[in-house]
Structure 1
């Protein structure tokens, strides 16, 4: 009688583990001083996301400005950069602009997909 209950618990544990692993997606945004930028989303590791963001930026002077789970945004005002990381794009954007006292322009914003 216990075998079906134990099997059910094992299956439930496996399903929850797979769901938790699927939710761990990473993104990154890279920007160069010349204004080039690149983004990467939905990577299984931070390092993979950062490599792809640098590759897609294309400029040898690109640097990672922010890595995140959820959403990330970068804004600029008078050559100052600010970034935000949050669970929603609106919040990430708001954080970045808030650092710049509500002024500036959002250069890049992106979210990882939710599984």
Structure 2
């Protein structure tokens, strides 16, 4: 099984940045606060059972929820995502593949790694 692509997102938000220059202080307001990042995940078992999750606050919570909803033998998280994730199966490659993308269509396109890949599940955060 190929290793799935994964992303790491780090958001730093400060209420204000304060820089001291000489005797005075310059107060620079922080830019608009970023919206919280939602996480999702898709897990697949050896026999093709699929568990998925979306709109979780952390990557670990999303992975755990996907694993808990996958009921077949040897479930494994194949993809985590902040927008959309997709899982495909290839008979030719004898494997499942998980990929992510900035849209449903791009996640599915990325998951089609073999000519005979069939999309099994695609999930997007709200």
The TM tier, using the shorter chain, reads: 0.7 to 0.9
For these two proteins, the number of residue pairs brought into alignment is 97
The structure that is helix-richer by fraction is 1
Is contact 1:82–1:100 with CA below 8 Å preserved after alignment? no
The structure that is strand-richer by fraction is 2
Q: Does 1:88 align with 2:103?
A: yes
User: Scaled by the length of structure 1, what TM-score is found?
Assistant: 0.76
Q: Which residue of 1 aligns with 2:12?
A: none
Q: Cα deviations across residues 56-84 of structure 1 (Å, max 9, x unaligned)?
A: 11235211111111100010011222222
Is contact 2:97–2:111 with CA below 8 Å preserved after alignment? yes
Gaps of 5+ in 1: 1-8
**1: distance between equivalents of 2:73 and 2:96?**
19
**2: distance between equivalents of 1:27 and 1:86?**
12
User: Scaled by the length of structure 2, what TM-score is found?
Assistant: 0.70
Shift of 1:86: 0.7
Structure 1 runs, 4 residues or longer, greater than 2 Å off: none
